[in-house]
Structure formats: structure tokens, C-alpha cells
Structure 1
Amino acid sequence: MPRQSAPRHSTSRRSTPSRVAASWPFRPTVRYSRQVAKALRMETVGGVIMLFAAVAALVWANTPWGESYTDLQQYEISPGWLHIGHMDVQHWASSALLAVFFFIAGLELREELTHGELRHARDAALPVIAATAGVVVPAVIFLAVSAGEPGAAKGWAVPTATDIAFALAVLAVTFSSCPAPLRAFLLTLAVVDDLIAITIIALFYTDSLEWIPLALAVLLIAAYGVSQSRGVRSPWVYVPLAVVAWYCVQRSGVHATVAGVALGMLTSPKETPDERPTNAERADHALRPFSAGVCVPLFAFLSAGVTLSASSLGAVFTDRVALGVIAGLVIGKFVGVLGGAWAAVRLGLATLGGDLHWREIAGVAMLAGVGFTVSLLIGGLAYTDPSQFERVTTAVLIASVLASAAATVVFRRRVRQRARLD
């Protein structure tokens, strides 16, 4: 993930007592805001907030006021002058708020390519091969389980994604003493997973293309990249370019989150001669708290509210599409990630570091089945029928809980084993 810049100490003129007295009531607010922003830059905190948002949505949707939750989801905000079609609150969350989330994913991918695990092919082979197998195997299992159901194949990509915020939160809580290479493996795995997911969305979930808006989007994104390469630092240049590029991608028919990851990958991590924070560090510092504290929790809140009655749960376990999602996330991710890593080492394409153990890799492989955010996004793109999407959403929630529980068991056992060895 983008490296945080070291704190810089600046000298300032000594404040007079009257100036201090006049300004002191505002200082706790500023300090508190900074502390909140700092906390939101931790993946664990973001994962917990997203969990609370999802639980709140589930509670609201299963109360007597559940219809008001549906009304909120479907409340339309689509001014005619924007010419972007019918956009309700849920669509704005998936297209606009998740674009910020994918911008952060793009920053992380660029950082991995520049300074991290993906910088050297030998080091990158283990997580890249594991992530690729962790996409292919769940898709195959989903197609096998759901074969014969009308329209089921549209959702083959639903169980292919890993939710990095949830996964890192579970890892931090259950295996706080995990070796740094294991966390790096999970982070790199999830970053590659996000790249594959956004590529799948761009290639397979675009129904029609408007070529003029798409060409304008490409030009704007290219202008953003050229400005980054030339060292332009002003946000007054980048924010308008990013917003208009997002709008053009949205108009083109390609899902707007593609603009987010493209802009993130083009944000420069190049060091400055005077050791100021890089553009990537500045963007990460400014947007990560907003993504973790607002964008992803709101998306989770607007997507996770499904009915959990006995009849609705029974429909999930009799629907082969929903069963394919559960099997793909819980079984497919585990088999794909662990099998891909094992094959990479066995074939001599990668090495398992001395600080890593196969049982820990197995735990991460189970944890990769937590497919919340991107799985729900792809599910919404694949299934437009509300009842089918609700069953798929419930299946994603069930699979994420099962994967988290299985990973927790593995990691807790590993903690006890490490304690005995120590």
C-alpha cells in the first residue's frame, strides 16, 4: 500500500497568550479530526466500520420498517442535465463511492509495482499465481454448481473477488502476531485480485459502448497521467480531471469504477528532490479515510440489507446460483489460492519465504473467501432481478461469515503452535 510520509516538523512563531486563549476551543476539534482520520487509515478500523454498516442494514431491512430501507435504496437522483440515465442511491454508491475505493486500490497496485512485492518477478510470482488461480477455480466451481439454471452464467465472476478490508481486519484480530511476509502476501494477493476484478467488470459487464464519451475519458485520463509524470502537484488540476473522466466513463457504458483504478495507477509515487510527500502519498493520505469511513461503509449499508426470514434463507439453499456463490467463495477460493501457491513453489516459479508456513498460507486462502464489497458489486451488475440479487447478496454474506470463521480457527491454532515453539 502507499507508504505514509514521515511527519515533518516545522518551526512557527511563538504564540502570544492572547492568541492561545482565543484559539484553544478549536484545537480539540482539529486534533480529534486528525485522530479519526489516522484511525481510518488502518484497514482494521475500516473493516470494522464496514461490518457495522452491513449489520445495521440487515437489522433495518428485517424490521417492520424494512420497506423504508428499500425506498432509500431506490430513491432516484438523476438530474436530466447530467444525461447519465436513471441513477438511484444504490447505483450512486456502486458507481461513484466505489470509484474512490478502486482509486485507492490503484494506488496500492502502483505502489506494489514500484516498491513492493510486484517489483521483482520472482517475488511477485507467489501472490500473482495464487490470486490468478483464486479467480479461475471459484468461477469454474460456480459454473459447475449453477449449470442449467437460466441466466446463471452471468454471475460467474461473483465469487472471484476478495474483500481486502474485511480480510485484513479478520487477520489483525485473530492473528495479531502474524509475520510481516504473511500480511504482505495477503495484501498483494488482494491487490492483484482487485485488478483482475476490475478487468472482468470492464470486459464482461459492459452492455453497450458510447464511443465519444469513452474517447474523451481516455484523453482525460491520459492528461492526468502526463501531468503526474511532469511533476504537477496541484489538486486543482487533478480533481477536475478525475471528476470529468469519471463522468465520461459513466456516460460511455463502462462501469465508472474502471476510471478510479486507472487514475490511481497513474498517480505518481516518484520521490521529490526535497523529500516532500509524493503525489501518491498525498492522495492516499487525503482519500483513504474518506474511502474507509464513508464510501465503503455506505456501499455496504446500501447493499447488504436483505431479508433473513426462514423462507428467504431456504430459497438461498435451494437456489443453485446462490449455492454456486457459496461454494465458489468458501471452497473455490481456498482450493485456488492454496493450490496456486503450492503449484508455483512446486514448479520452481516461486519460493516460500522462511517466515511463512503452509498452514498460514492455508489460513489466508480461507480468508480470501471473504468476498464482500466487489462480489456485491459484480452481483448487482450480473443480476438485475431484485429477488435473484437478494439471494446472491445473502449467499455472499453467508460465504463471508463461513470463510472468516474457518480462517479464524486456522489462525488461532497457529497462534497456539507459535506460542509453544517460543
Structure 2
Amino acid sequence: MAAPQTRKFLGRLSLPERTFIANALRAETVGGVLLLVAAVAALLFANTPLKDAYASLRDFSFGPESLHLHLSVASWAKDGLLTVFFFVAGIELKRELVAGELRDPKAAALPVIAAVCGMAVPALCYVIVNASGGGDLSGWAVPTATDIAFALAVLAVIGTSLPSALRAFLLTLAVVDDLFAILIIAVFFTTAINFMALGLSFAGLAVFWLLHRKGIRGWYVHLPLAVVIWALMHASGVHATVAGVAMGLMLRCTVRDGERHSPAEHIEHLVRPLSAGLAVPLFAFFAAGVTVSGGALGDVFTRPEPLGVVLGLVLGKTVGVFGGSWLAARFTRAELNEDLEWADVFAVASLAGIGFTVSLLIGELAFPEDPALADEVKAAVLVGSLIAAVLAATLLKIRDVKYRRLVAEEERDDDHDGIPDIYELDNPEYHLRMAAILEAKAAEHRRRAEVAGGGSGKDDSPA
């Protein structure tokens, strides 16, 4: 009997998975650029003579009061448009659970542990700083989130020659991160619950699932139902974005006979441009408009609440994601791709410190009674994300240069015959290069064996 085939995390991806990740990277890269433009525009509006007009637009309220939907423009962006973002995140999570890395427990161990540690360590950093400095512990969850759009945009721009496995790792990590972030919002930032509205919202979700299961696909049915589910979830007191994740998880991600694409893939293809191109940038425009002055920037590094956020994003995220990845590889059956090095994982771990969209959202939810402190925490999110982006870009550039050299060596063609020299067996340099490559891999194998053996120095490599 043939041994069952096992999946290795960060191993070679199937063609459908590679296609999906490539498409997601393209969309998220554009979304990251739009997100950056929106954030910069918000900062400019909030710190120029146009700040009064900006504040008036942000605070302008409209909507039916009887349905508890008389909200400001900023609240509509936070509770309404951001639901679209979490709807797409729910679809991504479902795809990973059904057809991606997360479907295999062994392969899922590494990104799940890395994501959990990447949220726990930043929260711990915040708690330590504020407990010792007499700060408000309510913002512990602010530095736990990773902004996938910004992170993938930086990775796509800087790491052009990096292995695709790193992009897959970051994407999977961010999907798990989004799941835990929405759980944190639902559990810790829900104050009073209207059980009648919550029950009706769950009933609406059941109808949504039943219609989808029966093959009813018309947007004219699902869109009004989705709006009703969202409104009921908002009225219940649970954050309305939970409805978006729930509906995304209910979509089918498998392809049946006669289908070119699964319903989830088709809907995501239609909704993702709305999320990346409109919903998230508009939320950033109304959430990132904080007044930045010398005193405010000074408070970021002197007051415990914003300082905890900065340290959590820059230090906590890096240590948490990298440490979690190492622990998973050391104490579970999860393995790191033999073509990668831990320096690559460390660079991506620092990239996870870009916690923009969801961190800004949690910052607003954590300090509803203290707008001034909420603005300082928002400024800390911007500063921490900027520092993490610069640090990650530097590390990724160093790694990218190394991989670019390897690519150039593989494509070397000194005799200009159209065939890379490394593939020409009669080329004496071929044997020298192959010997050097094999020796390097053997040395790496011995080093990993020593680490796995607790530094005993024993050589476990085959004779």
C-alpha cells in the first residue's frame, strides 16, 4: 500500500492555489496603494486649513433613526463599508480551510501558531507597558492585527525575486489573523446585546445559507438579504462586520460538475474590487485623519497607551510571528521549505507589524469615551506601521538581493547558445557549481540537525 501523501507547509503549491495567490496579490497590491493614498489624504486634510471641512464631512449623520441607523459618515464607513472587507476575508478563510493550506492540520500548524503568537505577544507588550506605566489596558487588542493590503503591497514592490512561498505564508497568516481579529471584536468589544435582533440576524444567516445551498444565485435576492442581516447584526450590539465574515464563510468554495468556478470564487471576483478600491480606502480616509503635531508625536513615545501600541506592532509582531513559526517547526510536524531560510521568515514577520485597517478600527472601539486618547492611539498605529514597513522593506531588500543573485546564476549563459550553462552537462563549471550547491545544502542539513538535536553536534545526514 502506498504511503499517504502529506503536504508540507510552504512547499510547492498546486496550480489552482498558485493562480489564486497570484490574483490575490495583484488585487491587494492595488488596494494597498489606494489605502496609502487615502491615509495620506486624510492626514493632509486633518492638518491643513481644510480640517474643519473634513471634520464636518466625517461627522455628518444620516440614515433612519427608527432602525438605529442614523450614523455619521465615519460610522457608515466603519460599520458598513468595512463589512465588505470582512466579507472578502471570510471567503479567503473558507477557501484556505477547504482548498488551501489550512485544510491539512500538519500544514496549518505553522501559520496558525505563528498567527496566534503574532497576536498574543503584541497584546502582552501593550499590557506590560501600560501596567508598569499606569495606562489604560483597554487598548490591548490594538496592536494585534495585520493589514494584509499594506503588507502584500510592500512585499510585492520590494520582494520581486523572493520565493512565492513567502507570499503564501503571509497571505495564510493574514487570513488566520483576520479570523482572530473579528473574534476579538465580537467577544471583547460587544457591550450590550439585543438578543431579539441577534436572533433575527442568525435567522437571516440561515436563510442566506439555505438559498445558497439550493443554488439560488440571484444578486437581487442575496443583496437585500445581506443588507437586512447586516442591519440586524448592527442593531444587536455585536459589531456589524461579524455579519460579513459569517456570510463569506457560508459560500461554497468547491467546484462541481459543469462549473468553471466555485460560487465563492465568482462572488469574490466581483466583490474584491469594491473592497480594495472603495470600502477600505474610504474607511482609511475617515479613520486616519488625526491631528499630528510635535506634542502629539511626543505623546506617542511618552504616554503608555500609544507607546504600547508602537512597541506591540514593531517588536511584538516580529517576535510573535517569528517565534511562533520557529516553535511550530521545532515542536510539531510542521516543516519549513528547504529552499527557504529563517532570515526570510524573520523579514516577513517584521512585515506583519503593519497593522493599519483593523488596528484603527479596534482603536476606535477600545476608547469610545475618550476621543483624544483614541486619536493618540491612531497616531501610534500610523507611526508603528510606518516603522514596521521601513524595517521590513530593508530586511526584504537584503533577502531579495540574495535571491536575485541566485536567479542570475541559474540563468547564466556565457556561451550565448540559449541554454543556461548550469544545464549543460559537458560544461566543467556545471559540475563545480553543482558540487558547491550540494555542499551548501549538506551544510544546511547538518546545521538543522544540530539545532533539532539540541546543539549536540551529531551529524544525522545520510552517508
Structures share fold, TM-score greater than 0.5: yes
Q: Which stretches in structure 2 are left out of the alignment for 5+ residues?
A: 1-15, 410-463
Matches within 5 A, 1:370-381: 370-381=354-365
For 1:127 and 1:373, locate their aligned partners in 2 and report how far apart those are by CA, in whole Å: 21
Tell me what 2:92 maps to: 108
1:401 aligns with 2:386: yes
Q: Is the 8 A contact 2:310 2:384 kept in 1?
A: yes
Within the alignment, does 1:169 sit opposite 2:172 as a pair?
A: no
How far apart are 1:269 and its partner, in Å? 1.4
2:37 and 2:294 map into 1 onto residues whose CA distance is: 23
Q: State whether residues 134 and 160 of structure 1, in contact with CA within 8 Å, keep that contact through their aligned partners in structure 2.
A: yes
Q: Does the 8 Å CA contact 1:41/1:288 hold for their aligned counterparts?
A: no
Given that 1:61 and 1:307 are in contact with CA atoms closer than 8 Å, whether structure 2 keeps it comes out as yes
Amino acid at match of 1:45: V
In structure 2, how many angstroms separate the alpha carbons of the residues matched to 1:148 and 1:407?
A: 29
Q: Is the 8 A contact 1:40 1:293 kept in 2?
A: no
Aligned-partner Cα distance in 1 for 2:163–2:346: 14
1:39 to partner: Cα distance = 11
Deviation at 1:368, TM superposition (A): 0.4
Give, as a single letter, the amino acid of the residue that structure 2 aligns with 1:338: F
Give the alignment's TM-score, normalised by structure 1: 0.88
Tell me the equivalent position of 2:457: none
Deviation at 1:236, TM superposition (A): 2.3
**Equivalent residue number for residue 373 of structure 2:** 388
Of stretches 173-182 and 288-297 in structure 1, the one that deviates more from structure 2 is: 173-182
**Distance between the aligned counterparts of 1:271 and 1:400, measured in 2?**
38
Q: Distance in 1 between matches of 2:103 and 2:24?
A: 29
- Counterpart Cα distance in 2 of 1:78 and 1:240: 17
Is 1:300 paired with 2:287? no
1:145 to 2:107 alignment: no
Partners in 2 of 1:217 and 1:281 — Cα distance?
A: 25
Query: In 2, Cα distance between the equivalents of 1:66 and 1:236?
Result: 40
Q: Quick one: structure 1 residues 257 and 237, their matched pair in 2 at CA, closer, same or farther if it must change by over 3 Å? A: same
Residue aligning to 2:13: none
Specify the alignment match of 2:237 in structure 1. 253
Matched AA of 2:400: V
Deviations 1:365-414 (A, max 9, x none): 00000000000000000012211111001100011111111111111111
Percentage identity across paired residues of the two chains: 52
Where 1:118 maps in the other structure, the secondary structure is helix
Residues 1:287 and 2:288 are matched in the alignment: no
CA change 1:259–1:150 in 2 (3 A) is farther
**Does 1:117 find its partner at 2:101?**
yes
- The alpha-carbon distance between structure 1 residues 40 and 319, as it changes in their structure 2 partners (threshold 3 A), is same
Q: Does 1:57 align with 2:57?
A: no
1:57 and 1:358 map into 2 onto residues whose CA distance is 37
Task: Give 2:30's aligned amino acid.
Answer: V
Residues 281-333 of structure 1: CA deviation (Å, up to 9, x unaligned): 12111110011110000000001111121122112222110000000000000
For 1:315-334, what aligned pairs fall within 5 Å after superposition? 315-334=299-318
The one-letter code matched in structure 2 to 1:372 is: F
382-391 vs 141-150, greater mean Cα deviation: 141-150
* Corresponding position of 2:30: 45
**Residue 434 of structure 2 corresponds to which residue in structure 1?**
none
**2:59 alignment partner in structure 1:** 74
Cα RMSD of the aligned pairs, angstroms, is 1.9
Find the aligned partners of 1:358 and 1:327 in 2 and give their Cα distance. 22
Change (3 A) 1:127 1:250: same
Could you tell me whether the CA contact under 8 Å between 1:41 and 1:292 is conserved in 2? no
Cα displacement (A) at 1:226: 2.1
TM-score by length of 2: 0.81
User: In terms of mean alpha carbon deviation, does 375-384 or 354-363 score higher?
Assistant: 354-363
Q: Does 1:208 align with 2:192?
A: yes
Contact in 1 for aligned 2:33/2:153 (Cα 8 Å): yes
Residues 1:164 and 1:229: Cα distance change in structure 2 (over 3 Å): same
Give the whole-Å Cα distance in 1 for the aligned partners of 2:57 and 2:216.
Answer: 41
Measure how far apart 1:237 and its partner are: 2.3
- Structure number with the bigger relative contact order (C-alpha 8 A, sep ≥ 6) is 1
Give how far 1:239 is off: 1.1
Equivalent residue for 2:116, pick from 132, 141, 144? 132
User: Distance between the aligned counterparts of 1:40 and 1:272, measured in 2?
Assistant: 26
Q: Contact 1:111–1:269 at 8 Å: present in 2 too? A: yes
Match of 1:18 in 2: none
Question: Which structure would you say has the larger Rg?
Answer: 2
Aligned AA for 1:246? W
Alpha-carbon deviation of 1:416? Answer: 1.6
Assess, with a 3 A threshold, how the Cα gap between structure 1 residues 396 and 41 changes in structure 2: closer, same or farther: same
